[in-house]
Amino acid sequence: MRVAQALSHRAFQPTLVGALFLFAMFVMPSVLDATWIFNFTQMAIYAIVAASVGMLYGRVGLVSLGQVAPYGIGAWVTIRLAYLTDVPYPGVFPLLLIAGGLVAAIFGLLIGLPALRVSGLYLALVTLLLAVGIEIALNRIKLPTGGPGFRGVAFAIGDREPMPRPFVADGDVAFFRYAVIVAFVMFMIAVAFLASKPGRAWASVSQSEPSALASGINITRYKLLAFGLAAFMAGVAGGLYGAHVQSNSSIAQFDRQAALFLIAVVLMGGISSLWGAVLAAFFATIMLPFLTQNVIGHNFWNDFALTIFGIGLMINLIQTTKAMEKKGLLE
């Protein structure tokens, strides 16, 4: 019954989603070259992270600028475990993704604790500070590259090894299909939650916390559930990112600038629908690189990116202020 309810939810149109899924699985690999396959793989991964942000902000009303933190944590955990285990063995890599997602979910619950006391711009600042803390930690310990010890860092370039991939997704095209399937599963999980009791509770909390509380909704439980689920999704995406770029992973994907960029493109794609996450990922990983390489030029990139950050943050401020006025928190 829950599956049928999820499939009938307005945020998930089965026909269109099925067509896009089949197109991505069978048509795109046959017409795109290696560079575009790489970019569209990154799009599938980024869409999961964008969906986690959109779910928090658009569905629960929680303004989080810290989703790159569980994204980075999931990447570190999955990469480290991948070097310690026999990834090509069937079924191991999905377990590593789940492990990275669960560790990230625990961190997401810790991020969610301030949300019980603060909201709006204060929550945005708190989550951004937490993201900066994770950035500092990752800069300190580095992402594993196949070396010895707990950190697993190989400092000599010749000692670095690519992160192992599952045998069913060893090549770039196969891994693109693998990433699309995982993204599809993550979106289905999000839809299942949104179409069930948690989704209704989140909608009520987003509209008015006092009204939700008066209706008997446990606000604490559902806020923490939202942060945990969003962090789990971002953590799984982090694991995919590590396998995607292998030994060329970069801390820049998880820094404060990436955090601001993420919220900016999600706001532009749309926060009220999961389709907005797909648009945000397309804009961030396909359109902007294409414009940079073919239209704008590399010298314009930094100024253009900063403009996007400014627009996104301005929209963020306006929408948050309106939401607080609606809830009676501002005069």
In this prediction, residue 13 carries a pLDDT of: 67
Query: CA torsion sign, 249 to 78 to 274 to 254?
Result: negative
Which of 42, 21, 68 minimizes the C-alpha distance to 287? 42
Q: If pLDDT is split at 50, 70 and 90, which confidence band does 326 have?
A: low
Residue 270 scores a pLDDT above 60: yes
Q: List alpha helices for the chain, DSSP H.
A: 2-7, 14-22, 28-31, 34-54, 60, 68-84, 92-115, 120-141, 172-194, 197-207, 209-214, 219-245, 256-269, 275-282, 288-291, 298-326
The CA distance from 47 to 182, in Å, is: 11
- List the single range of 90-94, 155-159, 311-315 with lowest mean pLDDT: 311-315
The CA distance from 34 to 13, in Å, is: 30
Residue 303 Cα distances to 292, 294, 309, angstroms: 12, 17, 10
CA dihedral 204, 208, 209, 212 (to 10 degrees): -40
- List the single range of 96-105, 117-126, 291-300 with lowest mean pLDDT: 291-300
Q: If pLDDT is split at 50, 70 and 90, which confidence band does 78 have?
A: very high
Q: What is the pLDDT of residues 29-38, one digit of tens each?
A: 999 899 899 9
The CA distance from 19 to 25, in Å, is: 10
CATH topology of domain 2-326: ABC transporter involved in vitamin B12 uptake, BtuC (1.10.3470)
- Predicted structure pTM score: 0.86
Higher pLDDT, 256 or 316: 256
- List the single range of 130-134, 177-181, 196-200, 323-327 with lowest mean pLDDT: 323-327
Residue 3 scores a pLDDT above 60: no
Token couple for 52 = 């986690």
Q: What is the pLDDT of residues 153-212, one digit of tens each?
A: 877 776 778 888 888 888 899 999 999 999 999 999 999 999 889 889 988 888 878 788
Domain ranges of the chain: 2-326
Inter-helix orientation angle 197-207/219-245, to 10° = 110
The CA distance from 237 to 207, in Å, is: 29
User: Is 240 within 8 Å of 97 (Cβ atoms)?
Assistant: yes
